[in-house]
């Protein structure tokens, strides 16, 4: 029997409707508590009530069999909440996946693509080393420098990662290192594009906005990548010096410990001492912690404060006491 997700894929991409029109109808019916199956079964009698034209009704005759599909609908619980805040035209109705979908229960930390000089790469590698293996899902675009770094660190670390594809998943052939991680359920791959869609650089900016929307936090390694992001997002820029101008809402971070603290929503010391600090993220569990000023707290005191907000990653504890 054809299931709801198979029907959505057919309705969006094969029924002959303009995709944005199909999304609009799905959204309207969902708000009324109607499944796509129920809407289709009500045709043609309820066409007017469902907002369909006679021409559209004539197209909406799904075949009795449809190909199996692995996709997440936007009305399912694992669909990233941040995507609902995107403009409607950017919000994917389906996310196609390969791998362990339950990984989406974790907060997504998106490593935005961009060139990496040696110093920034070292800073990002140190940050990733702290965060991998914790209850987070580090994410990057396949074949980006950030994805290469993630996969390199995965070879020597525990944890799982999320890679976004720039093509439909039926167009994708995984290299040996990704295939090995996928087989042991350490790699989840997502794409908002229909399975047979080939890669197209013209889609890159849109895909980056979608992925940034799905993430709890975004990490940028180069200022040029920031120019492609619209609106005020919850992000940091990894940089080797603090005096870099960034769009509103993007914090400049110059060391891995501060980056890891910020990305796990723990209180942090302002990056630019003597300047007006950027707003710190809320402490977990409603804990109110006053940001320290010079001199910084001892490692033991910093750890005591951090532990009031919840479990502190083991890698972060080691890092605190190594400085």
CATH code assigned at 205: 3.40.50.450
Most confident segment among 129-133, 219-223, 273-277: 129-133
pLDDT score at 235:
86
Q: Look at residue 272 and tell me if it is in a domain.
A: yes
Q: Range of 21's domain? A: 4-69
Q: Look at residue 136 and tell me if it is in a domain.
A: yes
Q: Which of residues 111 and 286 earns the better pLDDT score?
A: 111
Say if residue 225 is in the same domain as residue 165: yes
HSE toward the beta carbon, residue 152, CA cutoff 13 A = 14
Q: Look at residue 319 and tell me if it is in a domain.
A: no
Say if residue 109 is in the same domain as residue 19: no
Say if residue 157 is in the same domain as residue 252: yes
Q: Look at residue 318 and tell me if it is in a domain.
A: no
Say if residue 18 is in the same domain as residue 120: no
Say if residue 204 is in the same domain as residue 107: yes
State how far the Cα of 136 lies from the Cα of 159, in Å rounded to an integer: 9
Q: How confident is the model at residue 318 (pLDDT cuts 50, 70, 90)?
A: low
Say if residue 125 is in the same domain as residue 264: yes
pLDDT score at 229:
60
Average pLDDT (202-214) is 91
Say if residue 245 is in the same domain as residue 120: yes
| Structural domain count of the chain | 2
Say if residue 181 is in the same domain as residue 138: yes
Q: How confident is the model at residue 285 (pLDDT cuts 50, 70, 90)?
A: very low
Q: Look at residue 86 and tell me if it is in a domain.
A: no
Average pLDDT (29-42) is 96
Q: How confident is the model at residue 280 (pLDDT cuts 50, 70, 90)?
A: very low
Say if residue 145 is in the same domain as residue 268: yes
- Average of per-residue pLDDT values in the chain: 83
pLDDT score at 273:
33
Q: Look at residue 310 and tell me if it is in a domain.
A: no
Lowest mean pLDDT among 31-35, 107-111, 180-184, 238-242: 238-242
Say if residue 272 is in the same domain as residue 148: yes
Average pLDDT (57-66) is 94
Q: Which of residues 296 and 102 earns the better pLDDT score?
A: 102
Say if residue 160 is in the same domain as residue 54: no
Say if residue 180 is in the same domain as residue 247: yes
Q: Look at residue 163 and tell me if it is in a domain.
A: yes
């Amino acid at each position: 029997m054809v299931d709801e997700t198979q029907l959505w894929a057919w309705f969006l991409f094969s029924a002959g409707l303009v995709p944005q029109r199909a999304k609009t109808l799905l959204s309207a019916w969902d708000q009324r508590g109607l499944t796509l199956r129920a809407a289709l079964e009500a045709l043609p009698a309820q066409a007017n009530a469902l907002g369909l034209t006679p021409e559209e009704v004539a197209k909406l005759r799904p075949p009795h069999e449809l190909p199996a599909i692995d996709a997440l609908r936007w009305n399912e619980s694992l669909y990233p909440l941040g995507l609902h805040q995107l403009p409607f035209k950017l919000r994917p109705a389906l996310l196609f996946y390969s791998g362990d979908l339950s990984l989406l229960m974790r907060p997504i930390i998106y490593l935005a693509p961009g060139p990496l000089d040696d110093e920034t790469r070292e800073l990002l590698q140190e940050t990733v080393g702290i965060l991998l293996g914790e209850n987070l899902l580090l994410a990057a675009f396949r074949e980006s420098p950030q994805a290469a770094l993630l996969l390199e660190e995965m070879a020597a670390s525990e944890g799982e990662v999320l890679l976004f594809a720039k093509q439909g998943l039926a167009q994708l052939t995984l290299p040996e290192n990704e295939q090995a991680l996928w087989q042991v359920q350490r790699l989840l791959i997502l794409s908002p594009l229909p399975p047979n869609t080939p890669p197209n650089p013209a889609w890159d900016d849109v895909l980056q906005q979608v992925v940034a929307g799905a993430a709890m936090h975004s990490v940028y390694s180069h200022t040029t990548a920031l120019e492609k992001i619209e609106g005020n997002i919850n992000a940091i820029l990894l940089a080797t010096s603090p005096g870099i101008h960034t769009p509103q809402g993007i914090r400049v971070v110059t060391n891995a410990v501060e980056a890891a603290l910020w990305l796990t929503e723990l209180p942090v010391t302002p990056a630019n001492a003597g300047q007006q600090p950027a707003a710190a993220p809320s402490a977990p569990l409603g804990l109110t912690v006053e940001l320290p000023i010079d001199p910084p707290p001892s490692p033991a005191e910093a750890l005591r404060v951090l532990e009031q907000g919840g479990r502190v990653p083991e890698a972060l504890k080691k890092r605190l006491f190594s400085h």
